[in-house]
Amino acid sequence: MSKNETTSGSGRRKREAGPSPHQDPQSAAGGELHQIAGGEHAALTTNQGVPLSDNQNSLRANPRGPTLLEDFILREKITHFDHERIPERIVHARATGAHGFFELTESLEAYTRARVLTEVGEKTPVFTRISTVAGGAGSVDTPRDVRGFAVKFYTKEGNWDLVGNNIPVFFIQDAIKFPDLIHAVKMEPDRGFPQAASAHDTFWDFISLTPESMHMVMWVMSDRTLPRSLRMIEGFGVHSFRLVNDAGESTFVKFHWRPKLGLQSTIWDETVKIAGADPDFHRRDMFEAIAAGAFPEWDLAVQLFTEEEADGFPFDHLDATKLIPEELVPLKIIGRMVLDRWPNNFFAETEQVAYCPSHVVPGIDFSNDPLLQGRLLSYHDTQLSRLGTPNFHQIPINAPKCPFGNQQRDGQMQMEQPVGRIAYEPNSLSEDSPRESPAGGFRSAAVAETGEKGRVRAESFADHYSQARQFYVSQTAHEQAHIASALVFELSKVEHLHVREAIVGHLRNIDEDLAQRVGAGLALGKMPKAPVAAAPVQDMAPSPALQIIGKMKDTLTGRAVGILIADGSDGAVIEKVRKAATDAGAAVKIVAPKVGGANLADGSLMAADGQLAGTPSVLFDAVAVVLSDDGAKTLALEGAAIDFVRDAFGHLKAIGADQGGHVLLRSANVARDAGVVDASDDDAFIAAAKTRQWDREKAVRTLA
């Protein structure tokens, strides 16, 4: 059988039918053979199925003459190309997506009738898209930014989209402020920069005038926005939702994703350098992990609480700038999500996938969070503009995997061909047209509403600082220093002094020490006044669950180790380090001055996975340097080699070095400390490599 397949019926081209680890087994169902004489390859055709004899030359009046308008092949190809782009998402344009499944391990039967949350052991297919917010589709993977965490569950009762972020709160309390927030953070409209960066005047100006954003600002300035890998971030549904059971009773719920690999971030200097070394750092990491069978995995957990319990919280859970501390309502793990298949085609799937928080299934319902209420409108509207048609649900990545049908008809890009006379309901002319399901269909929770209509903000939304303070005081000293330094960095890019001062004023309401550190970092001279808080600032109990360092796992699983070698390196030491790191779960890469490899001391050639100039140490979690004395002397004159070890040290990573390796370290002024160990002592190296050397930081940079 040749590979010359097209899908049957539609005549659409199928992807080249070679074996692919990423191909959806279900979509691989065979089409008819497109019968083209001669050759092994599929015939190249126009979109009308006409085979092409020549794809290299357009039709000319004579060999050196004008191109003819009659060339329908040229016109079709160029016109299609001209229309290849669709409007990119106004936010969350840059993303990585993958297929997988959700498996329920604990039934929530008492709380909900949603089968996806009651059928233990059931594997529900998912498509998950993790994004940055501010940058365009072509921006880098690693700006300081929130990560979107959107999961489409293709359940038996319809699609459920859980469209969350990697931060459990948001900047604003009311959807009507969203366009202002996004306009403020996006590149400034007169100059078209900065791309994918909040460090500029308009963002901080808006924030300084929006005290409700202070809690989110603490999270955004923390290393949460600098993830080491998308496999190592948490996800949050942010808003309260409702679960509704068979009896019609409802319970509030917050959704949490917890990475099996633990939480891990990079540090700012490292992040900046990663952006240059590999703009696709996170996408590549996810691609490589899935290709290697190291499937990213998260637990799904819920916080469940009643209306009465919520009334007792010292904040309003309908306010998306507040979280519910785990110490107040513990997390209950109910299942796991595994991402095990890369998309066949980035555009068809990751770009065209259309998430809407309004996509819920029977048994899941909304709360009155005013931010959520606005989102219920916005996403569907945005899909109409992006995908151009109310039939976007028919695009394969968006279509439910359960049967679906109704009397909606026509519209642009209608792919279905409904048969028969009936396009309305109720009707008496058809036996089998779709009907309502009074018993199993979607029902909203019967919630009583009273009160006066008006453009008002509830009094219970007035406290903007208490949880910001709780977040800050819950952090380790290292994390607090990073937050203070991030604020200094960002505000130092703000030209307007009054904006810098206004933010420091807000910080005084959060934590005086933080405000002093940032004020000193900006050389403010005189501390600005704190604005009057609309509600008294409360001291809430610290919540260690808000840390990153406290949630980092001491492990090399899912992490990467780089071994720098050169001509003359000792193969036995390299192998020892490689084996120890691989056994500990790391992906190991050999880095050498030339990609072809290095001639080792014993005369053998060791191939390299990366060339030194293009494979800096920022791409690894720990490094080893195995060099002969001559190799070290040569590399001491090589900027990329000096940077390799100096950055590894500066980014608080473990360094294992043999005798020659230490020669290079000395040339780079890298001192010995607890994380700089002998490469031959693989136990010491692996122990150090499993974590970061936080205590080293004060020796390598001045933090605010």
b/e burial code for range 202-236 (CB count within 10 A of at least 16 → b): bbbbbbbebbbbbbbbbbbbbbbbbbbbbbbbbbb
Cα separation, 455 vs 444, whole angstroms: 24
Question: CB-wise, 352 or 475, nearer to ligand HDE?
Answer: 352
For the bound state, the minimum distance from the C-beta of residue 176 to ligand HDE, rounded and expressed in Å, comes to: 8
- x/- mask, ligand HDE, residues 312-351, rule CB under 6 A, reads --------x-------------------------------
Question: CB-wise, 464 or 696, nearer to ligand HDE?
Answer: 464
The β-bridge relationship of strands 147-155 and 158-165 is: antiparallel
For the bound state, the minimum distance from the C-beta of residue 382 to ligand HDE, rounded and expressed in Å, comes to: 4
CA contacts within 13 A on the Cβ side of 163: 21
Question: CB-wise, 211 or 370, nearer to ligand HDE?
Answer: 370
Is residue 232 within 8 A of residue 262, CB to CB? The reply is yes
For the bound state, the minimum distance from the C-beta of residue 369 to ligand HDE, rounded and expressed in Å, comes to: 9
Contacts of 335 (CB under 8 A, 6+ apart): 102, 103, 104, 105, 106, 299, 300
Site for ligand HDE in 451-470 (CB under 6 A): none
User: Can you tell me which residue has the tokens 């453009």?
Assistant: 455
Nearest to 478 by CA among 232, 265, 161: 265
165 in catalytic set? yes
Question: CB-wise, 302 or 590, nearer to ligand HDE?
Answer: 302
For the bound state, the minimum distance from the C-beta of residue 113 to ligand HDE, rounded and expressed in Å, comes to: 24
For the bound state, the minimum distance from the C-beta of residue 50 to ligand HDE, rounded and expressed in Å, comes to: 37
User: Binding segment for ligand HDE among 88-96, 204-212, 415-423, 446-454 (CB under 6 A)?
Assistant: 88-96
Q: Contact with ligand HDE (CB under 6 A): which of 92, 144, 359, 662? A: 92
92 in catalytic set? yes
Q: What is the 3-state secondary structure (H, E, C) of 477-493?
A: HHHHHHHHHHHHHHHHC
Q: Contact with ligand HDE (CB under 6 A): which of 112, 132, 155, 165? A: 165
| Site for ligand HDE contains 95 (CB under 6 A) | yes
Question: CB-wise, 163 or 608, nearer to ligand HDE?
Answer: 163
| Site for ligand HDE contains 91 (CB under 6 A) | yes
For the bound state, the minimum distance from the C-beta of residue 180 to ligand HDE, rounded and expressed in Å, comes to: 11
Q: Contact with ligand HDE (CB under 6 A): which of 11, 31, 125, 374? A: 374
Q: Contact with ligand HDE (CB under 6 A): which of 203, 252, 298, 355? A: 355
Q: Contact with ligand HDE (CB under 6 A): which of 282, 375, 576, 578? A: 375
Question: CB-wise, 164 or 528, nearer to ligand HDE?
Answer: 164
- x/- mask, ligand HDE, residues 106-145, rule CB under 6 A, reads -----------------------x-x--------------
Site for ligand HDE in 174-213 (CB under 6 A): 175, 178
Site for ligand HDE in 145-164 (CB under 6 A): 148-150, 163-164
Structure tokens at 629: 């004395």
Is residue 36 within 8 A of residue 42, CB to CB? The reply is yes
Is residue 145 within 8 A of residue 166, CB to CB? The reply is no
For the bound state, the minimum distance from the C-beta of residue 505 to ligand HDE, rounded and expressed in Å, comes to: 26
Question: CB-wise, 50 or 384, nearer to ligand HDE?
Answer: 384
Question: CB-wise, 90 or 331, nearer to ligand HDE?
Answer: 90
The β-bridge relationship of strands 250-259 and 297-305 is: antiparallel
Contacts of 634 (CB under 8 A, 6+ apart): 566, 567
For the bound state, the minimum distance from the C-beta of residue 367 to ligand HDE, rounded and expressed in Å, comes to: 12
- Cα torsion 694, 696, 701, 704 to 10°: value is 40
| 365: enclosing H helix or E strand | strand 364-366
Nearest to 661 by CA among 632, 635, 623, 619: 632
| Site for ligand HDE contains 294 (CB under 6 A) | no
For the bound state, the minimum distance from the C-beta of residue 149 to ligand HDE, rounded and expressed in Å, comes to: 6
Q: Contact with ligand HDE (CB under 6 A): which of 111, 204, 379, 649? A: 379
| Site for ligand HDE contains 471 (CB under 6 A) | no
Structure tokens at 116: 């996806």
Cα separation, 673 vs 665, whole angstroms: 12
The residue sitting closest to ligand HDE, measured at its beta carbon, is: 148
Q: Which of 34, 99, 159, 165 is catalytic?
A: 165
Cα separation, 477 vs 25, whole angstroms: 50
| Site for ligand HDE contains 390 (CB under 6 A) | no
| Site for ligand HDE contains 89 (CB under 6 A) | yes
Q: What angle do helix axes 497-510 and 201-208 make, rounded to 10 degrees?
A: 50
Is residue 357 within 8 A of residue 236, CB to CB? The reply is no
The β-bridge relationship of strands 297-305 and 332-341 is: antiparallel
Structure tokens at 215: 């809690």
For the bound state, the minimum distance from the C-beta of residue 304 to ligand HDE, rounded and expressed in Å, comes to: 19
Structure tokens at 517: 């550190």
Is residue 313 within 8 A of residue 328, CB to CB? The reply is yes
| Site for ligand HDE contains 170 (CB under 6 A) | yes
Question: CB-wise, 357 or 363, nearer to ligand HDE?
Answer: 357
For the bound state, the minimum distance from the C-beta of residue 184 to ligand HDE, rounded and expressed in Å, comes to: 14
| Site for ligand HDE contains 45 (CB under 6 A) | no
For the bound state, the minimum distance from the C-beta of residue 214 to ligand HDE, rounded and expressed in Å, comes to: 16
What is the dihedral sign for C-alpha 491, 494, 497, 502? negative
b/e burial code for range 69-84 (CB count within 10 A of at least 16 → b): eeeebeeebeeeeeee
For the bound state, the minimum distance from the C-beta of residue 182 to ligand HDE, rounded and expressed in Å, comes to: 8
| Site for ligand HDE contains 378 (CB under 6 A) | yes
Question: DSSP 3-state assignment of 641?
Answer: helix
- x/- mask, ligand HDE, residues 472-501, rule CB under 6 A, reads ------------------------------
| Site for ligand HDE contains 289 (CB under 6 A) | no
- Name beta bridge partners: 625: 564, 657
Question: CB-wise, 163 or 618, nearer to ligand HDE?
Answer: 163
Site for ligand HDE in 206-245 (CB under 6 A): 238
| Site for ligand HDE contains 295 (CB under 6 A) | no
The β-bridge relationship of strands 560-564 and 587-592 is: parallel
- CA distances to 65, 108, 175, 303, 367 from 444, in Å: 69, 18, 22, 21, 11
The count of residues interacting with ligand HDE (CB under 6 A) is 25
Distance linking the first and last C-alpha atoms of the chain? 67
User: Can you tell me which residue has the tokens 């977040």?
Assistant: 471
Longest CA span, the chain: 90
Question: CB-wise, 374 or 585, nearer to ligand HDE?
Answer: 374
Question: CB-wise, 43 or 187, nearer to ligand HDE?
Answer: 187
Task: List interacting residues with ligand HDE (CB under 6 A).
Answer: 89-92, 95, 129, 131, 148-150, 163-165, 170, 175, 178, 238, 320, 355, 371, 374-375, 378-379, 382
Residues carrying an active site annotation: 92, 165
